[in-house]
A and B are shown apart, each in its own frame.
Chain A
Amino acid sequence: MSEKFDVIVIGGGVVGCAIAWYLAHFDLQILLLEKDLDVCSGVSKANTGIIHSRSYWTPRTLKGELHLRSLPWIEQAEKELDIEFLKTGALTVAFSRSELEFLKTLKRRGKIKGAEILTPQEARTLEPMLSDKIFAAYYDPETRVASPFQLNLALAESAFLNGVRFIFGQEVTGFEKEGNHIRIFTREGEYLSRWVVSSAGLSSSYLAQRSGENIPSLRALRGEYLVLDRECKDLVRHVLYPVPVGETKGILVSPTTDGNILVGPNLEVAEDEDTSTTKEGLKEVEEGGKKLIPFLPVSQTIATFSGLRPTSPDRDFHIFFSSRFPSLLHLVGIESPGLTASFGIAEYTGDLLKERGLKLSEKRDFIFRSSFPVFRKLSWEERKKLIQEDADWGKIVCRCEEVTIAEVKHALLSSPGASTLDGLKRRVRVMMGRCQGGFCGMYLPFLMAETLGLEEREIVKSGKNSFYLGKETKEVRSGAPLY
């Protein structure tokens, strides 16, 4: 490909998409390369989605600095991206006098208006299901909850709307200098750009090494989670944190933007970036959750999953220019609170590129994204109106999450659109409810093939070899008509 880009972003996770979206505010030709078939396919697809408050920033670190820098963006992002960051607030729960000290630190560190340390009775008035063994709790009104998928997708869609191009299935293998440009090689092709930002999650240290940096490889620290049925939505209203024992925030219980309850994550070393869940891990998560909410209805579990934290040895973010390629910026070790910090990281990235000479002139015609309606959240009047406009709004394909054919088609045909069943799931929540695709799994692959003009057997779950259907039955192969 001979086309020259001003900036190529490697990685379609929440940070890569935030960077592309931020840079799309300026007059630049931008390309985003993603190794998987969709955005939000790696680290970004499996985390709590919590927008951690100022109480949770880590002083004297880059991660802390970018965390704080990100928070003022939240309200603007809500407007520009048309998404919701649920204002849940949080309770951090101490079980002993010694743990109370940590609550005081949080209060001091956050200086959040309305934040206070509560007695057990006060805490249990806010959260009646909370353990009666608690000693005190820190209430923090600033904590919010985002849908990790919706945020990542909204950033990608907004970037696309403002001219960013996306190419999927592009695993970067190396870099070469070409004048003051960089040529990027992938398994499928090559791309040329003046500036390159590598935001490759778990692969970020590998790519830095490929560009000649002598840095240690990241460690993938895994966290497992339980997702509870929407029927449990009133179980907790706030994000509930324990007092952390190690370097992570601990196993928490959190509401989600869609009414499920999320429990997790634990912390374990994952070999070979393995995203399996384990019996022991899930048990640990259950116990951690029950410490906060003794009557945690684990029998209402609808799904389990695990996510990976790409952690650097010092657990900080590392954002630096390549020593061999002066216009290649590496983002390494972007783990929690990466989602919270994504806006700050994007802005910081823009500043670094600008300092090195990238010209940022603001576009006059930046377009705000407007999100597609979510049938489940509409009033009956709105539903009526939409069905009159398009009958597909009256056809429910996923009844657990009440998703219509209109929404599925939009998710497939929008840009960047879903090209896998998991991509569809993350966009419109089909297969994500209590039946986990037991019902809609009957229709979606076929609706998808038809809408995208694909062969039915080409439909994949996530990776390019994750085929959903096997071969045709004897009856079909013999050419006999079905039923």
Chain B
Amino acid sequence: MVPHSIKGDVVVIGGGPAGMAAALSSWEAGARSVFLLERNEYLGGILPQCIHPGFGLQIWGEELTGPEYAETFIEKLNRTGVEVMTDTTVLELSPERVVKAVNSEGVWELKADSIILSMGCRERTRGMLRIPGHRPAGIFTAGLAQYLVNIAGYLPGEEIVILGSGDIGLIMARRLTLEGARVKMVVEIKNSLSGLVRNYVQCIQDFNIPLLFSHTVTEVRGKERVEAVMISEVDEGGNPLSGSEREVECDTLLLSVGLIPENELSRQAKIPLSPLTGGPWVDEDFSTDLEGFFACGNVVSVFDLVDYVTLVAERAGRAAVFPSSPQKKYILQTGEGVHTVIPQRIREGKDGFLFIRPQKSMRSVTVFLRWEEKIFYEKKISICRPSEMIKLNLSEIPWPQVKGEIKVEIEGTEIRGIS
């Protein structure tokens, strides 16, 4: 095939759960030239390596594994005319909606009416955390380790310490234990869990793996391969407490310390990004602040459930075919107790979702929406955690008549650890 320039209705960048659902929904909304570009050799993003169950409960009431969840979409895509290009890496994206990509057939230039960004996220690294010490082999991000075990068929090592209680780390603690490796401990710098409680119960508690809150890794030891890590208790500000340092022998350090939306292409296209999430500002249809660009899934902000990613991607896919007026009625601001809100702009507020990530674990929680100091919406929830987004339906909210800024706040009693 001769590489060429293509004009399309919709180009979707990234074929993970967000991109697959978005491409499918654009097709279902009537777009007939839809391109789905994926840099990997297969679709699904991270799903194929997530062989554990738990996917799909929210949207289908059914528990699937990652590969099964991905397969559902791949099968649906196969029944459409969506042009799937795997092994294809997008290198340039212009504000004029021109995508430049390469694959083994050559250089591709695609110009589309709508571009959907679904590049997902990457894992935070040791370098970003600036963990001091040697730089031996044996330090992996949890997702990389998951790939090595579940796809490549190799253990990362045998004596494991996991830093961070993010979901992939918790799941890998179980997976590696089942594989006969010894997971010596999970250490978490905060005083509360970063991942889902169900993952704590099923992956840590059920396997008697020690989880140390308010602890962190302060040094990596070992010149060639990891030989040990130093761990330390930390104060509220995350600073190691002197005298609490001790050595833990291990040959592997896994890092499950957060995910970062991958927005290098968004920056190239000059799409306005939120400094808080690192992703584009979006409205309830996941339209960005730059006309013709949509963004969905973890490229916007890291979602804790793939089900939510699917829900928002479907909205983005539809909106990319029927774009609505760029006028936004309300701007949402994070207030007291709130870490992030997605979306940050509301055009109409008639349908769609509001995802709120709390700053702390709390019980007896109230979520408030304020317009000029006046509370116009309030919802009570028994418990909230930073690891679990609160999902509200926009249609439940009695939006004020007048345009303006709206503050989202959460109140409640703080809880520590897992309770």
Taking beta carbons and an 8 Å cutoff, which residues of A are in contact with B? Answer: 226-227, 231, 274-279, 281-282, 301-305, 380, 383-384, 387-388, 391-392, 394-396, 399, 402, 421, 434-439, 441-442, 446, 456-457, 460-476, 482-483
Contacts and interface: CB of A to CB of B under 8 A. Distances in A.
B218 A470 contact: no
A476 B154 CA distance: 8
A282 B158 contact: no
A461 B133 contact: no
15 contacts: A277-B133, A301-B127, A304-B127, A436-B126, A438-B143, A461-B136, A461-B137, A464-B224, A467-B225, A469-B155, A469-B156, A472-B153, A472-B155, A473-B154, A473-B155
A442 B148 contact: yes
Nearest to B124: A438
A482 B137 contact: no
B143 A387 contact: no
A396 B102 contact: yes
Interface of B: 3, 39, 48, 67, 87, 89, 91, 100, 102-107, 122-123, 125-128, 130, 132-137, 140-141, 143-144, 147-149, 151-158, 179-181, 218-219, 223-225, 251-252, 264, 267
A477 to B, nearest CB: 9
Contacts of B181: 470
Contacts of B123: 435, 438
A474 to B, nearest CB: 6
A461 B144 CA distance: 15
Contacts of B158: 470-471
A204 B122 CA distance: 43
B128 A396 contact: no
Contact of B130 (A282, A391, A392, A470): A282
Contacts of A395: 87, 103-104
Contacts of A457: 154
B178 to A, nearest CB: 8
B140 A441 contact: yes
Nearest to A461: B137
Given A438-B122, A467-B137, A388 B106 contact: yes
Given A387-B107, A394-B105, A482 B179 contact: no
Contacts of B136: 461, 466
Nearest to B122: A435
* Residue with the highest number of chain B CB atoms closer than 10 Å, among A276, A278, A301, A383: A276
Contact of B125 (A279, A435, A460, A469): A435
Contacts of B152: 442, 446, 469, 482
B127 A470 contact: no
Contacts of B149: 473
* Residue with the highest number of chain A CB atoms closer than 10 Å, among B105, B147, B152: B152
A392 B104 contact: yes
A384 B155 contact: no
A281 B219 CA distance: 13
* Residue with the highest number of chain B CB atoms closer than 10 Å, among A395, A456, A457: A395
Contacts of B179: 473-474
Contacts of B91: 396, 402
B127 A227 contact: yes
Contacts of A402: 89, 91
Task: Give the interface SS of chain B, mostly helix, strand, loop or mixed.
Answer: mixed
A193 to B, nearest CB: 30
B151 A482 contact: yes
B224 A466 contact: yes
Contact of B133 (A226, A276, A466, A482): A276
Given A282-B130, A394-B105, A471 B155 contact: yes
Contact of A466 (B48, B100, B137, B252): B137
A344 B132 CA distance: 36
A473 B132 contact: no
A109 B249 CA distance: 53
* Residue with the highest number of chain B CB atoms closer than 10 Å, among A383, A392, A396, A463: A396
A130 B141 CA distance: 35
Contacts of B156: 469-470
Contacts of A278: 132
Contact of A442 (B105, B106, B125, B147): B147
A472 B105 contact: no
A337 to B, nearest CB: 25
Contact of B144 (A277, A391, A437): A437
A77 B128 CA distance: 36
* Residue with the highest number of chain A CB atoms closer than 10 Å, among B89, B137, B147: B137
Contacts of B151: 442, 482-483
A468 B104 contact: no
A463 B127 contact: no
B125 A476 contact: no
Nearest to B255: A438
Contact of B132 (A282, A396, A475): A282
A399 B133 CA distance: 27
B225 A394 contact: no
5 closest pairs, A vs B, by CB?
A391-B104, A461-B137, A470-B155, A303-B127, A466-B224
A303 B157 CA distance: 23
Contacts of A446: 152
B135 A384 contact: no
Contact of B122 (A387, A439, A471): A439
B224 A465 contact: yes
Contacts of B155: 469-473
Given A394-B103, A470-B157, 15 more contacts: A231-B264, A278-B132, A304-B132, A383-B102, A396-B39, A396-B91, A396-B102, A436-B126, A438-B123, A439-B144, A460-B224, A465-B225, A470-B251, A472-B153, A476-B153
Contacts of A439: 122, 144
Contacts of A391: 104-105
Contacts of B180: 474
B13 to A, nearest CB: 12
A441 B91 CA distance: 20
A383 B106 CA distance: 8
Nearest to B143: A438
A388 to B, nearest CB: 7
Nearest to B221: A276
A475 B130 contact: no
A31 B98 CA distance: 53
B168 to A, nearest CB: 11
A279 B105 CA distance: 48
A434 B122 CA distance: 9
A463 B224 contact: yes
A442 B225 contact: no
A318 to B, nearest CB: 28
A266 to B, nearest CB: 13
Contacts of B218: 279
B101 to A, nearest CB: 9
A463 B223 contact: yes
Given A282-B132, A438-B122, A384 B144 contact: no
Contacts of B148: 442, 469
A302 B106 contact: no
A399 B137 contact: no
Contacts of A465: 224-225
A275 B134 contact: yes
